[in-house]
Amino acid sequence: MIAALRRRHRLAAFAIVAAAPLLLAVALGARRPEARMEVLPAALRATTPGPDAVLLDEIPDLWADLDVQTRRFADGPTTWVELAPRAPLRHPDLLVYWLPSEAAVETFPERATLLGPLRGREPQFFALPAPGGALLLYSVAHDTTVARAGLRPPAEPR
């Protein structure tokens, strides 16, 4: 009885070894092609405001528990926000989101717009969809909202 089971097991192992390369080739051939974008949208091409950008305001203590300096710039019709951590961020994989309103929410909002990742201590610029609203820092690794800050529409440029 054991010899028969060993023979059957040996045949099954040989069948799997013989079929695996064929199945791999079929699987690789059946997958969808990689999505490619010929031209980036204009909003994604620019990563910093231009040289003619005007400082709108500087908000030193916008984030309650984080040591992050926040400044807003106007560059034509686009409003930019600069986030500059002054100390190492203790939360991993931070993403910056923009919300259309300052209202507090209990769960992660569906209408949040991803602006980009916040990394290191270098100042980083993000183009805002609108001058007001709120910024949200979300930690992907911890699956939690780290901080939220309301942005009122700025006053006249300095």
Spell out the domain ranges in the chain. Answer: 50-151
pLDDT of residue 9: 95
Contact 132/118 with Cβ under 8 angstroms?
Answer: no
> What would be the CATH architecture of the domain defined by 50-151?
Sandwich (2.60)
CB atoms under 10 Å from CB of 5, counted, come to 9
121 and 88 in contact (C-beta within 8 Å)?
Answer: yes
What pLDDT is stored for residue 151 in this prediction?
82
Helix, strand or coil, per DSSP, at residue 108: coil
Q: Assign 14 a pLDDT band (cuts: 50, 70, 90).
A: very high
Instruction: Evaluate if residue 44 carries a pLDDT over 70.
Output: no
Q: pLDDT tier at 45 (50, 70, 90 boundaries)?
A: low
Tokens (6 digits) for 9: 């097991």
The per-residue pLDDT for 41 is 62
| Torsion (CA) 65, 131, 96, 41 in degrees, nearest 10 | -170
pLDDT tens, position by position, 71-120: 988 888 888 889 988 888 888 888 989 888 766 666 677 788 888 888 88
pLDDT given for residue 43 in this prediction: 53
pLDDT recorded at residue 16: 93
What's the pLDDT at 64?
A: 78
Helix (H, G, I), strand (E, B) or coil at 77: coil
Whether the model clears a pTM of 0.85, i.e. scores above it, the answer is no
Cα R_g (the chain), whole angstroms: 25
The structure tokens listed for 112 are 């949040």
Question: Percentage of the chain surpassing pLDDT 90?
Answer: 15
